[in-house]
Amino acid sequence: MKRAYIETYGCQMNISDSELMHGILAEQGFSTTDKPEDADVILVNTCAIRDHAEQRVIGRVGQLQQIRRDNPDVVIGVTGCMAQRMGESLLGRAGGVDMVMGPDAYRQLSDKLAEVVARRGPAGRLPMSQSAPAIAARGLAVLGFDPHENYEGVAAKRISAVSAWVPIQRGCNYRCTYCIVPYVRGDEKNRDPQAILDEVRALAADGVPEVTLLGQTVNSYEHGGWNFPRLLREVAHVDGIRRVRFTSPHPNDFTRELVEAMAEEPRVCKQLHLPVQSGHNRTLKRMLRRYTVEEYLEKIEWVRAAMPGISLSTDVIVGFPGETDEEYEATLQLMRTVRYDDAFLYKYSLRDGTPATRLPADQFVPDEIGSARLQRLIETHRAIQAEIYQSEVGRTEEVLVEKEGKRGGLQGRTGGNKVVTFEGPVGLIGHFVDVELTGTSGSTFVGEMAGALAAA
């Protein structure tokens, strides 16, 4: 039996895509290994959001070349968003890549791997004496977009038996000026709602108690007469599912109807990740985000009025071209106003192929200023987060136990998506337990079991 190793970088959609690729390969007789040196096929599934992520991948592919010394037959491929963005140029990078494949081509994965081996000649082996250009010459690039590819009928091989990603949408119709996603994943494609519900029912039948609905702008979902609030309610009614989450919504498509569905459905987690990106209207306009700060804050008010204890998180970019000190200070003030439980904070990274590259060069924020702004934003957020977490010490929360902790004990998440570690038997993994929160690091909790075991 051949063995496949997939290393994943980037967002939840990439994690889900790696599960999809494992499923495709499993149908062709591949087993999964967590050691690249044991693999016949090594795939690096990539992100293209920031230059730093791409440089990490280039370095990692270079490291993986060492495996060719002991196993000249190994196939090394790069898949995902970075593969789509860089295309054939990746074949000759980092010592040589055998295959480059974009996100819409995974259904062809097994066939294309066979083609890669066939291109090597009768022996199917790439001699170690060959250079990166020679490897690239025999390499294969499988790129382009398929406007209908939603991978219906392809069974993913899940990495967790406790919580499952369920993609309901691929691609994006928004064109935020900083974002590469529409150019590497194509336009929005929404799955058939009955196929989604069938997938969720199958997961419930397998004993998976939690699902997360995935999409680039998940709440823009529409298919026939279905919109996202209707789909969310139907998923929450599937027997056996105890928790439903979704990510990532776009503020433009965030409606009162969705707030009502979240508030009224007890199985929908009272947790919301709503990216804001900036706290100033002028920056938002240049980003082409299509909402104002005032509209965003109004939607936060809707949410907190309907679900007072909801856990909120967001994404923020600082140092976007043209961002003034005043605009940056407005972002800090928004963070203080909303008081997010968690936040993913970034310094703007120029991405070739995005509209922002056409902004005047004199608008680009110097790197040292962008770094200083990011550091201050992180400090502001962490102080707020620590206050929120400290205020929750002493509560008892229902925790879904996900795995063993890195330092022993068990690790799970609350309904608000907050990590808790506590002592308990391994047999509790996959179950819900009541845990008293006894301490916090400022971004995670430690706790003690407080109640009887609740069946998953």
Q: Is 172 annotated as a binding residue?
A: yes
- Evaluated on CA atoms 422, 164, 108, 51, the torsion sign reads negative
What backbone phi and psi angles, to 5 degrees, belong to 358? -90, 0
Q: Is 11 annotated as a binding residue?
A: yes
Q: Is 269 annotated as a binding residue?
A: no
Residues making up the annotated binding site are: 11, 47, 81, 172, 176, 179
Binding positions for [4Fe-4S] cluster are 11, 47, 81, 172, 176, 179
